[in-house]
Each structure stands twice: as structure tokens, then as C-alpha cells.
Structure 1
Amino acid sequence: MSAVMRRESEPATQGFSVRAVAEDQDQLLSASASEFLSGLHRRFDARRLDCLAARIARQAEIDNGGLPDFREDTRNIRQSDWKVAPLPAALRDRRVEITGPVDAKMVINALNSGANCFMADFEDSTSPIWKNMIAGQHAMRGAVDGTLEFHAPARAEGTPGKHYALKPAAGQAVLLVRPRGWHLDEKHVQVDGRPMSASLFDLGLFAFHNAAALAARDRGPYFYLPKLESMEEAALWNDVLDHIERTLGLAEGQIRVTVLIETLPAVFQMDEILHALRSRIAGLNCGRWDYIFSYIKTFRAHPDRVLPERGQVGMDQPFLRAYSELLIHTCHRRGAHAMGGMAAQIPISNDPAANERAMAKVRADKLREVTAGHDGTWVAHPALIPLARRIFDERMPGAHQHHVLREDVQAFTQRQLRDQLLTQPLGTITRAGFDGNVEVCVRYLAAWLDGNGCVPIHWLMEDAATAEIARTQLWQWLHCQAQAIAAGNPQAEPPQLEDGTPIDFTLLERAFIGLPVRLGDRRELIGGSRIEEAIGMLDRLCHADTLEDFLTVPAYRRLE
């Protein structure tokens, strides 16, 4: 009888139980690993739920007219002088990082890509079907011990499939792992009758199997922590990591983390987040796509803060520029890296002119980042690594730019900084922008439901963050009139497209009707068989009176 079957036979409300089956999962979920994970759940899940309740309370205040701001009770942390712990050697130079899902082929290609670091993403780039989560943990073990291989199926009869294998360790990118966020459960695993935190499951299982080997090579373990909203959530992570170090016999501060600043509440607590993790934090990252999503979500009840279409919300918008510059100033003042954002472009192989336009956008974005003072940047495709590296090499001869203190940011008052961070972006909404949001959201959701969390659409690598922008923008535009009326403006009219067409549910219905023409042959689309399901989900989410916090939460209920 397998270990999983033994656990399944236990009472539902007692102990560790796994409610799904994937290949070779017992190799990962041994009795000792299960005990370790159970200990994490019992010690920390109540605090996680308290943090999530605090998010709800904070959002309710904003829904009632409040605005995010710097905390008065932590003013001393922001104003006093202190530094984070010195950086480990492996994380001193992070000028180009690549990110992607945790399937074996992607992991091998990313580690071999020539990037300084690879962020293996269990969150926004991975659809959390159970077999993906287990296969991803196996890929991580193979990457750490150097045995990971992948044999692609043959494309034609009699032709061998391509074989993928890791380069020697010295030629590999440094591995960092991003677990899922605090808001997500791992429904396939229960401890004492309750679903386990997806964050604790992902990070805990990786650390249990790989931390000792990585520590022995001075390679971590290293993690990216997503979607934090407060210093209390950062402090919870710090206590989790302290516990893991003690339990696994690691040195204090052995585990290092980088925090993604990808929520609007978190940008007002960057000093506090660094302070809560000061013995182990390596830097903060401008997770700009999730940050735009968070801006929309946070101001869902503020009809005066409606964003233009996604293509017009670039880093030249004042609220995004202020976010980037404040992050650089905060990190460098404390001795931490200030990492730049993602270039989502994919090389356009069949159109040289279009490809050059796309690459020009990448060059301009990376030049902006290095000139502003960022210490490194992200790309989604290996072909962008030489371009990004060349720009950073030319303008960042050292390992980082901690000497760029951005004292111009320090000159602003707290009120001025807040106003800059909350400035409403200017722009328009075109019919192409509206229809494009519908297409991207439907195509991504269909692929996600089919088990794929990273999807190329129109030469951009879309993940959950970019799909969330599309989804929340649609909801914001469609409900803007109702929100304005609720806020005391009975004469409010629906927002309009650039050509004067009202943005209403009739327009949404027309976009759905026109979608088959835009999509073409569904058999050629990733997740094409689930397009109708995705349309139904998006339609319900757009009609809902309240904006769903995360697209992936209701979608997860449909996964195996």
C-alpha cells in the first residue's frame, strides 16, 4: 500500500491527506516530508488567515473612500538608519534574470540560457493542476542535483525527439523559486481537515528536498516572495523561514529572499518589508504587471481613477515612474537590490519590421531601467537576454548600482510621494483595446484551465498578471457608471470608447460574438477546447457586482 493510500485511509479531519494522484508523488510526499509540511501548517496557517482578513478590512476602508498611505505607526522604521544583511556572492550580480514555469524543458532552457538568475515560477506562470505541481517539484530536485533531463517527442515518424540536458553547474543561472501567494490554497493537500496554504506547500516542499544541497554549494536556497501587501505578511514569511532553517539544520539567514512589490498597498511599506526581512532579504522587484492589476483592484470603487487601455499604461505614466524611483531609493538606502520589471516581448520570426519595433521597445525599457538606477531586469524569452545584458553592461560596469541613491526622491514630502503614487494615468480606450482585453483574457483563461500558465499571444508572453489586467480593466470600465452613481454622482454616464461608443454590456456581448473571427481555428490554440468555458467564466466575472479579487481563485475550483 502506498504512502498516499495510507494517508487517504485516515480520518478526514486528522493528519496529512492528499486528495489527488500524480506520477511519483510518493517520492516527494514521504512520511517525513508530510510531517514537515504539517508542522508548517499547524504553526503558521492561523497567522496567514489573519493577514488575509486584514487585507479585506484594509480594502473595505478604501472602498469607502479612503486612500492608501504611508503608516504613521512605522514612521521610525522609515526615518531611522539601518541596513539589510550583506548580499551572498551568488546574488551580487543579477543584471539579467529570466522567469518562467516549472516544467522540465523550461527549467533546463532557462538555467542554460546565459541569464544571471532564473526564477522558477510556481505562481503566475504555472497552472496549478496537481500533476504540474508535482512535476514542478521533481524538476526542481533534478535541477538542484544536476540530473534533470527532458526528451521531447518526435515531430515526425522515424525522427528522434530533441534531448535537453543541463550544462555544468558553473554555466547555469542561479536558481530562485517563487511559491504561490498567501491568498491561495493547495486544495489537494489537507492538514487536519483544512486545505494547506499553497505558499507553505510550494516553498516548504522545495526547501525540505533541496535546501541542504543548495546551502552546501552557497546557492541558497533563494526565493521570490509574491503579492505581499504589508510588513506583517513579510514578518510572517520571516518567521516561516526561521522555522525552516532551525528544523532543517541550516545556518541562520541561509535562506535569502527577494520580494516582489506588485501590490499598491505594499509600495507604501517598502521600508517596513525590508526591515521585517532584514536578516535575509536580497532586494525588491518592480512586478509592474501585477502592480497595474493591483492599482485597478484597489481603486475598484473609485470611479475617478479609471485606467486607460493596457497598451497606454507604460512606465512613463507618472504613477509607475514614481513607484520605480521610490523602490530604487528605498532599496539602495538599505543596501538591497532594486530589480526592474519584465519584458514580455517574444521575437517575431516572420516579420523583421515588426520584430525591430518590438525590440526597440525592449531596448528603450531596459535603458530606462538602468539609467534610473535599477540593479537588474527581467526577460520572458531567452532571445532577449543578450539585448538586455548589452544595455546593462554598457551602463552598469559594476555588479550593481547601490551608489545611485536617488536623492531626488528623498526631497519629496510624504504627501507629495503619496500623490505621485496615486496619480491617475491619462489615456483613452479604443475598440481594439477593449476587444483585445476580451481576447487575451479568454485565451489565457482557456489555456490555464487546460493546464498551461504561460501563453504566447500576439508575440507577448502572457501570464496570470497580464490576464488579470485585462479582466479587471473590463470590470472597471463596465461598472464605472454604477460606481459613480453609488459615490453620489447620479448624472454619471458610462465611459466611452475613443470613437464615442458607450462601454456597456452590449459592447461586451459584441466582443464575445466577434471573438471566433479573431481566434480562427481553435484547434491551433493552447486550450482551444475550453474557449466556451473561458467565455462563460469571463462573462460572469464581468457581470458580478463585486470585483473578484483574483481570477485564479474561481478558476482553481475547476481544475483537477
Structure 2
Amino acid sequence: MEVLAPPSGLEAEYAALFTTQSLHFLHELISTFGDQVDQILLRRASRKANLDLSGELPDFLKSSAHIRTDPAWKVLPVSQRLQRRHVDIGDLAPCDTERFIKALQSTAQGIQVDFDDGNCPTFYNQIKGISNVIKAVDNLIPNVPLISESPVLMLRPRAWNMVEHNMMVEGKEAPGPLFDFGLLMFHCGKTLFEHQSGPFFYLSKVESFLEARLWNKIFVWTQQKLGLPLGSIKATVLIENVLAAFEMEEILYELREHSAGLNCGIWDYAASFVNKFGHRKAFLLPDRSKYVNMEKRFLQSYMDLLVQTCHRRGALATGGMAALLLPQDVHGDSYMKVLDTVTRLKLLEINAGMDGFMVYDLNLIEPMQELFRLHTVGENQLCRLREDVSVTPHDLLSMPVGGVTLYGLKHNIAVGIQFIKAWLSGKGHFFYRGQVEDSATAEISRSQVWQWIRHRTRLEENNTVVNRQLVKDLTEELLVELGPLCLSISAKRKLHTAADMFLEVVLKRHFPEFITSYLNQDHTFLSSQDPRRVEDQEQLIPQSKL
């Protein structure tokens, strides 16, 4: 096993993480399951190829019908600390120490400790983030509650598609999720269990019950190695892929001893339609800013089926994250407008039977908890079995009606480019027009631009064709608009690099499966994280040139 030298300034944290014992554990974990992770990715590629070649559409699996029709099985009940999780804080990259501490001090029921969508996986960020989690678990952070009294930590390792460049095991880069999960479990698992506060996880980008089965094998192996009882680990699976929507019961079944439920994630889920069927004109996804929301049939069906599936099996169903940010002026009209919008959208989830959801803005925690108090009774809504729901494959695959607007095209370009710029700066999210944007919104943004170019979609306003030249022209306009906001030569350079990379992604003939995979493997990202190449950081651009 080889591990890169510690990032500058984190020598002590690095030494504490990578002990002889933890390295031995990681080596065993990755050696045991690394090839199976590779098989997962190969199986995904094969499944996509079969869909493309056959022209078929997904359906509920005939081979596992006996699981769906058997009313007897349930998931094991979760611990008391998970029974009431009305409002979690989402997209919290734990390398952001200040925000992590504020979250631990908050009244939220849980924290999505995010090494995935809201996090940029530089080696510095991974080491800093995992170290901060360990300090929180060991009660080494001043002025925060004990881990048994603070919001529960819902640890979210990277998805299967991500690798850790800084660790080699048997000649291969370590799978990102095994690196994150292994270190978190080795250093925190027993302590969390002893304090009845975990270990709890979110599992990202799961596409099939076979992937859930692999996670279950990993959980069983890890519990045995660390001397924890079977079922100690609990995990919420994010259903953020259309193929996974057809296998929700099977996913719960595979994880029935370790399940904390399922979660809805609107933008990754919507982007997966482009990922799997984007070259088919019947699956043209209209402007998300105007026509795509949880009130549309394909998303409402997905949410209703998720709640019904979970509650039928005794599992908790949780919703996505409110990305809007409350303005600072609590007396202003814009404050009430944002609060009313979040309230309306989250009330849809509560009325659907959701047991909880996430917010990004910590100031939304208490208003949303009050929303649950007003509209629900008890710790959760497990008693709502949603027997009124009968979702068909046609419901799940029904594309919303609508077109493409110039505003929507510009917005998607802006989100995609600024996300890449944030990533090149070592950040996994940024703020734009009153809300937080992360890899999920970057995925749907670049997916829509790629698809609209592919199908030469016309703009609603003037019937202009969305083609390569139009997207290039709008990108140039955006650079002119954002250029003055870049206060250093380095920032300006990163903006232009990000624009070039965005264009490369959306102009490719074949759709790159994940923007994070593209960025994580790209030499520009890798070189930008090399401390020897940190240049121009202090060279401010003279104001006369802004």
C-alpha cells in the first residue's frame, strides 16, 4: 500500500489518521472489495449498452417479484436517535470547520456529513474533513455538545465512480467510497455505537440492488472486523437514478439489517434520465427552471413510490435538500418570499408522507421543524402506508411537457461553469442567485445543455436552435459578466479554464456519465491541487483592469 505524503499544514491529522493499524484495516478492506467495486462499474456500462442496443425501457424486475409480493419482511427498526429526523442539514462538507461547528451547535436532528455532492475531494479536504469528524465524535471540539446530544452524523462517503488518487492498493488507486468509509469506521465506528449515535451513513448514486448487496457485504465484513454487532451500521440509500427507482424494494431487502431508509434527490435523479436515455428524443427534458419540479408526474410518482415502499417495509423516507438561502433582512419582502417558497415545496413532501428532509441554510431549521409540528403527529409518518398509491413504469418514465427558454439555457451554462471553477479552487459548492449549487445541480445543468444541443432544440422565445455555436456565444457572454468578479489572476484563469472544460463536456459526442468523474480524472484538477503549482494566488489584478 502506498499513501501520498501529507498535505501542507495537516501533518498531525495525517499521522493520526494513517496509523499502522488503520492502514492494515484499509488494505484488507480495499483488497477484499476493490475488484467488486470495479465489477459494479463494468455492470453499469454493460446495462447502459444493453438499453442502448435494445431500445428497451426499465421495468420492475420479474426475477425479484417474490420479494415485492411477500408482505412479511421488514427492515430492522432503527435506533431511537433516527426515529425523529425531521430536519437535517445537507451538503455539509466537514472540511469547512466553521460551518461544521455551527451545525453541531444547531437544533437540527441530523447532519449530512458530505464527502460527495457538496465536497471537492482534494486530499487536503478529505484529511481535514475526516479529522474533523473524528474530533467531533471524540468530543474534542470546544463549545459543541457531546456526540450523544448533538445532531446525529449521517456520514456520506463518495460514490462508486470516484477514486482516491493519493492511495494505491495492489497497484490500483483506492475506490473513493472505501477510503472514506474505511477511515470513518476504523476511527469512529465503535465510539458512535457506544454512544447510540451511529455509525449512520448515506449511500450515494446506488443504481441497483446488486450495488446495495455489495454495500451490505462491506457492512457485515466491517462489523466483524471491528467487533460490532450485526446491524450496528445503518444506511440511507439515495435513490438518485431512474434505474434504482425500479428496484427500491429490492434495495431495501438487500440492506434490511442495515437500512435507515431511502431518500429522494431531485436533480441527480432528473439528470439520470439524460444519462440513461438522453440520446432518445422521447426523453428530452425541458427547462428545469420552468418545467421540472416535484409537482410533475414523473417526480411525484417517484416520491410517492419511495414513501409507499419505505413505509410498507418499516423504513424511513426522507426528501431532498432545500437549496434556497434566506436573505439577511428578516423584515424584507424577499425574506418572506423565500420562506414561503421553501414552505410550499417542503409541505408537498410532508403531505406525501416524508419522515424528514434537508435544508442548507441553518436559519431554515426551526421554521421547517415548526412545519412538521403543525402538519404531522409523532416522531415520523411510518403509519402512513400510502395505500392510495399505484405507480406504473409509465408514470416513472413520463417526461414533463415543456420547452427550452433562453433564461434556462443561460442559467444551466452559468451553474456548470461556476461549479467547475469552484472545484478547481478546492470547493464542492458555491452560491448563485440566492441558493447553494453543488455537483447535483451541475449534473442536471450540463446534462440539459448536452441534450438540447444533441436534439437541436428550439428556444421558446424566438425559435432559435440550441447548437454548439449558440452555447459558445453564451459562454463568452458569461465570461464577460463574471470576469470583473475575479479579483486575482488565478481566479480569472480558473474561470476561463472552467469555461473550456464545460464546453468540452457539453460538446462531446458521447455523454460523460458523471461530471465529477470527468473532473476527478482530468489533469487540470489534479495539477491544481499540487501545492508546488500554487501560483498567482496573491497577485491581485489592478482595479483599473477589472
Do both share a fold (TM > 0.5)? yes
In the alignment, structure 1 residue 347 sits paired with structure 2 residue 347: no
* Aligned match for 1:367, one of 344, 347, 350: 347
What secondary structure, in the 3-state scheme, does the structure 1 residue paired with 2:388 have? helix
Q: Displacement of 1:31 after TM fit?
A: 1.3
Of residues 495, 515, 536 in structure 2, which corresponds to 1:551? Answer: 515
Aligned residue for 1:408, secondary structure, equals coil
Please give the per-residue CA displacement for 1:14-36, whole angstroms capped at 9, x wherever unaligned.
xx101342213121011111111
Q: TM-score, normalised by structure 2?
A: 0.91
Counterparts of 1:299 and 1:225, CA distance in 2: 24
Which residue pairs with 2:272 in the alignment? 294
- Write the distance in 2 (CA, Å) between the matches of 1:231 and 1:450: 36
**Residue 91 (structure 2) pairs with residue 102 (structure 1):** no
Matched position secondary structure for 2:431: strand
Quickly say closer, same or farther: Cα 1:79–1:465, change in 2 above 3 A. same
Shift of 1:318: 0.5
Structure 1 portions without partners, runs of 5+: 1-15, 150-164, 482-493
Residue correspondences, number: 513
Correspondence list, 1:38-57, <5 A:
38-57=27-46
> How far off its partner does 1:407 sit?
0.8
Task: Say yes or no: does 1:120 pair with 2:84.
Answer: no
Q: Cα distance, 1:427 vs. partner?
A: 1.8
Q: 1:426 aligned to 2:394?
A: no
Question: Which of these residues, 434, 438, 442, is aligned with residue 417 of structure 2?
Answer: 442
Task: Trace 1:221-232 onto structure 2 (pairs within 5 A).
Answer: 221-232=199-210
Q: CA deviation at 1:171?
A: 4.5
1:387 aligns with 2:387: no
Paired residues of 2:319 and 2:354 also in contact (CA < 8 A): yes
Aligned with residue 320 of structure 1, among 288, 299, 315: 299
What is the Cα deviation at residue 457 of structure 1? 1.0
1:465 maps to which residue? 440
1:19 and 2:4 aligned:
yes
TM superposition score normalised by structure 1? 0.89
Output one character per residue of 1:89-123: Cα deviation in whole Å (capped at 9) or x when no partner.
Answer: 11000111112111222211112121100010000
Given the alignment, which residue of 426, 451, 466 partners 1:476? 451
Partners of 2:168 and 2:84 lie apart in 1 by 40
SS at match of 1:113: coil
Q: Using the alignment, how far apart are the partners of 1:551 and 1:524 within structure 2?
A: 27
In structure 1, the partner of 2:533 is: none
- Once residues 246 and 211 of structure 1 are traced to their aligned partners in structure 2, the CA distance between those partners, rounded to angstroms, is 12
Query: Offset at 1:528?
Result: 5.1
Contact 1:20 1:130 in 2 (8 A): no
State the one-letter code of the partner of 2:107: G
Between 268-277 and 293-302, the greater mean CA deviation after superposition: 293-302
Give the deviation of 1:304 after TM superposition: 1.6
Q: CA deviation at 1:403?
A: 1.1
> CA offsets, 1:108-147, max 9 Å, x none?
1112121100010000111011100000011011110111
Segments of structure 2 that go 5 or more residues without pairing to the other structure are 530-546
Between 518-527 and 501-510, report the one with greater CA deviation.
518-527
Change (3 A) 1:402 1:524: farther
Q: 1:528 to 1:468 in 2, by over 3 A?
A: farther
RMSD (Å) for aligned C-alpha atoms: 1.6
1:378 aligns with 2:350: no
Q: Is the 8 A contact 1:94 1:376 kept in 2?
A: yes
Matched, 1:69 2:69: no
Q: 1:200-215, aligned counterparts within 5 Å?
A: 200-215=178-193
CA shift for structure 1 position 355: 2.8
Q: How much has 1:447 moved relative to structure 2?
A: 0.6
Who is 1:254 aligned against?
232
Of residues 494, 508, 520, the one that matches 1:530 is 494
1:507 aligns with 2:476: no
Query: Is the Cα–Cα contact under 8 Å of residues 112 and 171 in structure 1 kept in the other structure?
Result: no
Whole-angstrom distance in 1 between the partners of 2:322 and 2:492: 26
CA distance in 2, matches of 1:185, 1:295: 24
